[in-house]
Structure 1
C-alpha cells in the first residue's frame, strides 16, 4: 500500500495542506487551503498535482478547524494511507532545534511558547489537536525557529537587562527556518558540495521578508528577531525602527500599545510608504511615482545593509547568494538592485540570465555565485516528517528482525 505524509499549516482562520507520496523522493499529490474558517465566506481551494485539476468551493460556512480538516479528509480520497502528519509550528522557543515527534510534553512546550507567538502558536496547537483526532498516526512538529537554534549568543542577545532573557526569554529567535533549511539543501545540490561546507547568504523575500547568514551549513545570524517584525522592510511591517518611536507616538498621537503594534505590523513597510504592498506594482510605478520609487529604494537599501553585515559575519568567504520567496524568485529588478556595484565583493550578476530568471544568474567570472531557488516549505516539512517517522520505525524493525 502506498504511504503518504500529510502536511498541515494551521492558521487562525485557515488551513493550508499538502499530501506527499513517500516514494524514493517525496512527491506532492494534492495541495490546497481552507480559508475564512468561522465566517460566511469560507472557501476551499484544492489542486491535484498529477491531473492539474483545480477545485474551488465557495460560500459555505466552515465553522471551525475540525470541520475544515474533515473537508480535507474527504478530498484526500484515501486518508487511511496517511502514515504521518507534519505540522508547521511557528515558535519552538529555545527547546526545539529539530523536527520533533509530538507528545503531550511537546504540546505543553508549544503552549509555553504562546507568549512569543500569540497569533500563531494557538492556531498551530488547534490544528494538532484536531488532526490527532482524525489521523491516528505519528504527528511531527516542524518549527520555524529550529534552523536558527545554532545562532551564537552574541547574535541573539539584545542589549537590554539580562533578567528579561532569563525570566521571559526575550532574545532573537528568527523565522522562515523551514525555508532556509530547504534552500540550503537545494543550494548544496546546485553547487555540487556538501551542505556542511557551504557559506551562504539567503534572502527569503515575500510579504514577510528576512535574510540569513549560513556558515558551514548552520544559521549564524538572521534578520527577524523575537518576532517577525524586526529586520527588513516588508509588505506591511516596518522592520527595524528606533524603539523610542513607541513612547514618542504615545505622547504625541495619544496612541496605545495595541494601536502602535498594528501600525508597525499592518500599516507600515512598503504599504505605509507608498500605499501599495504588491512589489510588482511598486516596481512598475517607480518610474512615474516618487513615493513608489522611494519605497523601492528603502526596501533595497535595508536588504543591502544586512548583506554587508552578513559578508562581515562570514569574513567575506561566501559561496553563494540565494534569492527566494515570491519577490526574490520573481523580481529581476530587485535582484539587480540588491547586487548592483558589488563587483569589489566578488558579486557579478549577468543581467541577461537575471532577466530570464534562470537558476544561476551570476557571470562566469563571479567569485560568489548568485542563485534563484524557489522555496518549498511544505516539501521540506514532508521530508523532515519522513525522517522522524523513519527514526520512530527503526527500533520496531530492529526488534522484529527486519
Structure 2
C-alpha cells in the first residue's frame, strides 16, 4: 500500500523545525531543524528509519526565504524517497485572528487573513507567510494541499468572561480586540497524552498545561477544553519570558512615550526583544546559562525567581477554574521538559494545592512522558512537546 506522508513546517523566529510524518501510524520518518546562532546557520536532519544524522553548518545567516529553500533542497536531494510520498504540507501558524478557528486548506483568502493577523503576531506570522509562499513555489504538485494549523484554534473555546478585555465592548465588536492565546497546538497534544497517561476520557479531564520555553504560556483545560490561557491578543501577555515582558501595567507604555520620550517603535522593540529574563539579568535570554549562574550572579537568580513566581501564580489562579477537580499539572516545552531545577522551584510554591515533587523522579531522563510527583501528591507530568505530530494529523484530516 502506498504511504501517505505529511511534510510539516514549524517556523519560529530563530529556528525552523520540519518533519515528514505518517499521520495515521504516528510515525516520524524525518525530523529536522534549522537554527540561527549568531552569525552562523546550522541544519540537522535525523532519519528515524536509517538512524542517521545529517549535520551542516554555514558561516552566514541567509534570509528566511533562503533558509526555507535550503530545507526543500536538502529534502529533494537527500530524502527524495520520503518526499515522493508526501501528499500535503502542514504549516504551523501562530495567529489566526478572529475568523480562522480551525485548520484550513490554504487559498488566497486564508493567506490574506493570516497576513492581516500579523499585527497580532509580528514575530511569527510574517515567517509563516514566507514558508507558505516558498512551499507553493517548490512543490507545485501540492499547490492545493497546503494546510494552515493555528496555535490560536484550541483557545476558541474560552468563554467571553475570559477572553474579553475590560475596555469598551465596541473594540471587540468592531476591531476583534480580545485574548486569543498561543501554543494551542501543543496544549492540545499534552491534553491528549495526559488523557492516555491517566486513562481518563479527554472530556472529563481537568488539567493545567505549562508550556515553558523562550516563549511561555499556561492554559487551564476543563473537560478537555481550553477555558483560559495566559497569552492574550498577542504572545506578549502573560508569563515572564526569554525576551518578552509578559504582564505589565499598561501605563508603563504611556510613561515611556510621554515622559521618557521613547518612540512607539522603540517601546515595542523593548517589550518584545529586550525584556523578560534578558532584561532583568542583562546577561542572556538562555535559561540554561541563567540556571548555571543562579548561585553566583544575583541578577541571574532574580530573573529565574521572577519567572518561577509568575508561573506558580498562574497555576494557583487557574486552579479556581477546575470545577472542584484538578487532575494534573503538565510541564512541556524546552524549559518545562529539561529543567528539573525550575520545575522544583515552581512546584515548591504549590504545596497548598497538594502538589509535591519527588526529587529522584524529577531528574531529567530520556523518556518522552514521565511523572515527577510523590505518592501523596496530585499528578505532575513532564510531556515532551510534539506539535509536528498534531499538525500532521490535522493536515491529513483536513485534506481528507
- What TM-score do you get using the length of structure 2 for normalisation? 0.89
| Residue aligning to 2:45 | 46
| Residue aligning to 1:32 | 32
> Is 2:313 the partner of 1:305?
yes
Size of the aligned set, in residue pairs, is 387
Query: CA 1:304–1:35 in structure 2 vs 1: closer, same or farther (change >3 Å)?
Result: closer
1:274-289 equivalence runs, <5 A: 274=281, 275-289=283-297
| Residue aligning to 1:351 | 359
Q: Could you give the per-residue CA deviations for residues 155-198 of structure 1, whole angstroms, max 9, x where no partner exists?
A: 11111122222222211100001110111111111111111110
CA distance in 1, matches of 2:334, 2:137: 34
| Residue aligning to 2:304 | 296
Tell me the SS of whatever aligns to 2:88: strand
Superposed displacement of residue 20, structure 1: 1.2
1:69·1:130 contact (CA, 8 Å) conserved in 2?
no
CA distance in 2, matches of 1:180, 1:350: 24
Paired residue for 1:219, among 212, 221, 226? Answer: 226
Query: CA 1:355–1:102 in structure 2 vs 1: closer, same or farther (change >3 Å)?
Result: same
Superposed displacement of residue 269, structure 1: 1.0
> Is 2:382 the partner of 1:372?
yes
1:225-374 equivalence runs, <5 A: 225-274=232-281, 275-356=283-364, 359-366=370-377, 368-374=378-384
Tell me the SS of whatever aligns to 2:371: coil
CA distance in 2, matches of 1:312, 1:360: 23
| Residue aligning to 1:17 | 18
| Residue aligning to 2:77 | 74
Query: CA 1:236–1:186 in structure 2 vs 1: closer, same or farther (change >3 Å)?
Result: same
Query: CA 1:247–1:383 in structure 2 vs 1: closer, same or farther (change >3 Å)?
Result: same
- What TM-score do you get using the length of structure 1 for normalisation? 0.89
Query: CA 1:125–1:215 in structure 2 vs 1: closer, same or farther (change >3 Å)?
Result: same
Query: CA 1:336–1:12 in structure 2 vs 1: closer, same or farther (change >3 Å)?
Result: closer
Q: Unaligned stretches of 5+ in structure 1?
A: 393-402
Superposed displacement of residue 331, structure 1: 1.2
1:205·1:327 contact (CA, 8 Å) conserved in 2?
yes
Query: CA 1:294–1:57 in structure 2 vs 1: closer, same or farther (change >3 Å)?
Result: closer
CA RMSD of aligned residues (A): 2.4
1:15·1:68 contact (CA, 8 Å) conserved in 2?
no
CA distance in 1, matches of 2:231, 2:267: 19
| Residue aligning to 2:155 | 148
1:270·1:277 contact (CA, 8 Å) conserved in 2?
yes
Query: CA 1:306–1:14 in structure 2 vs 1: closer, same or farther (change >3 Å)?
Result: closer
Superposed displacement of residue 126, structure 1: 2.6
CA distance in 1, matches of 2:324, 2:305: 25
| Residue aligning to 1:134 | 138
270-279 vs 181-190, which moves further: 270-279
Q: Unaligned stretches of 5+ in structure 2?
A: none
